[in-house]
C-alpha cells in the first residue's frame, strides 16, 4: 500500500469545490445537532409537541384505607358489550333524522329520483346500527314524509325500504 504523497493530498483538496465543502459542513452540523438534541434534550424537544414524561416520584398508588373490609367483587359482565336492548340509540336516531332533514332541505326540488335515493342510501350507510333497530319503520316513514314535503310524489315508501341494503 502506497502512502499518499503531499502532491496527491493537494490534488484531492483541489478537486472539491467550495459549494461541496460548505454543503458537507452544513450537513455534518445538522447531523451533529440532531444527535446532541436527541441524546441530551430528548424530553425537552418532545415537550414542545405536547409529550410529557411522567416522573417516578409523581406516580402514586392509593393505599387501601380499610384492610378489614373485603373488596367489592367485580362483575365481569360489566365489561362486555351490552345487548341491543340495553343500548340507547336515541342519539343515533336524532343524528340520522337531523342529517336527513338537512340534506332534504338543502337539495334542489328538481333532483332526480335516482340521485336522491343514492344520497339517502349514502347517509343511511353511516348509521348501520339503525338497520336492525326496532324503530326502522318509523325512520323510513320520517324520511318518506320529509321527501314528500319537499317534492311530493317523487318517491314511494317501497323505494325507501332499500336505504339499508
Spell out the per-residue pLDDT of the chain, length 165, in tens: 566 677 776 777 778 888 998 999 999 999 999 999 989 988 888 888 888 877 766 666 666 666 566 666 777 777 777 665 556 788 888 998 999 999 888 888 788 888 888 888 889 888 888 888 888 888 888 888 888 888 888 888 888 887 777
Residue 62 lies in a domain: no
SS3 state at 17: coil
Q: Are residues 94 and 41 in the same domain?
A: no
Residue 147 lies in a domain: yes
Range(s) of the domain holding residue 11: 6-48
Q: Are residues 95 and 146 in the same domain?
A: yes
Residue 71 lies in a domain: no
Residue 12 lies in a domain: yes
How does pLDDT run across 64-78, given as a tens digit for each residue?
666 566 666 777 777
- Model pLDDT, residue 60: 62
Domain final position from 14, 29, 48: 48
- Max distance between CA atoms of the chain, in angstroms, equals 97
Task: Quote the DSSP letter at residue 78.
Answer: G
Residue 83 lies in a domain: no
Q: Are residues 98 and 155 in the same domain?
A: yes
Task: Quote the DSSP letter at residue 134.
Answer: T
Exposed/middle/buried for residue 123 (C-beta within 10 Å: 0-12, 13-18, 19+)? middle
Contact indicator for 120, 160 with CB cutoff of 8 Å:
yes
For residue 48, give Cα distances in angstroms to 5, 34, 37, 42, 43: 51, 15, 13, 10, 9
Where b means 16+ CB within 10 Å and e means fewer, 45-75 reads: eeeeeeeeeeeeeeeeeeeeeeeeeeeeeee
Count of structural domains, the chain: 2
- Model pLDDT, residue 98: 92
- Model pLDDT, residue 129: 82
For residue 130, give Cα distances in angstroms to 74, 89, 102, 125, 142: 32, 8, 18, 9, 14
Residue 33 lies in a domain: yes
Residue 141 C-alpha cell reads as 316513514
- This prediction has a pTM of 0.47
Q: Are residues 101 and 153 in the same domain?
A: yes
Q: Which residues contact 139 (CB under 8 A, 6 or more apart)?
A: 93, 96, 97, 130, 133
How does pLDDT run across 11-36, given as a tens digit for each residue?
777 788 889 989 999 999 999 999 99
Amino acid at each position: 500500500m502506497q502512502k499518499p504523497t503531499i502532491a496527491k493530498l493537494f490534488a484531492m483538496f483541489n478537486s472539491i469545490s467550495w459549494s461541496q465543502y460548505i454543503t458537507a459542513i452544513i450537513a455534518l452540523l445538522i447531523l451533529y445537532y440532531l444527535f446532541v438534541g436527541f441524546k441530551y434534550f430528548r424530553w425537552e424537544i418532545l415537550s414542545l409537541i405536547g409529550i410529557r414524561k411522567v416522573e417516578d416520584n409523581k406516580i402514586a398508588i392509593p393505599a387501601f384505607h380499610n384492610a378489614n373490609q373485603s373488596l367489592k367483587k367485580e362483575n365481569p359482565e360489566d365489561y362486555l358489550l351490552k345487548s341491543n336492548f340495553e343500548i340507547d340509540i336515541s342519539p343515533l336516531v336524532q343524528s340520522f333524522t337531523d342529517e336527513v332533514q338537512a340534506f332534504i332541505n338543502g337539495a334542489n326540488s328538481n333532483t332526480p329520483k335516482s340521485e336522491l335515493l343514492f344520497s339517502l342510501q349514502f347517509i343511511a350507510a353511516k348509521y348501520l346500527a339503525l338497520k336492525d333497530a326496532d324503530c326502522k319503520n318509523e325512520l323510513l316513514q320520517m324520511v318518506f314524509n320529509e321527501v314528500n314535503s319537499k317534492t311530493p310524489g317523487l318517491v314511494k315508501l317501497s323505494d325507501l325500504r332499500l336505504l339499508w341494503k
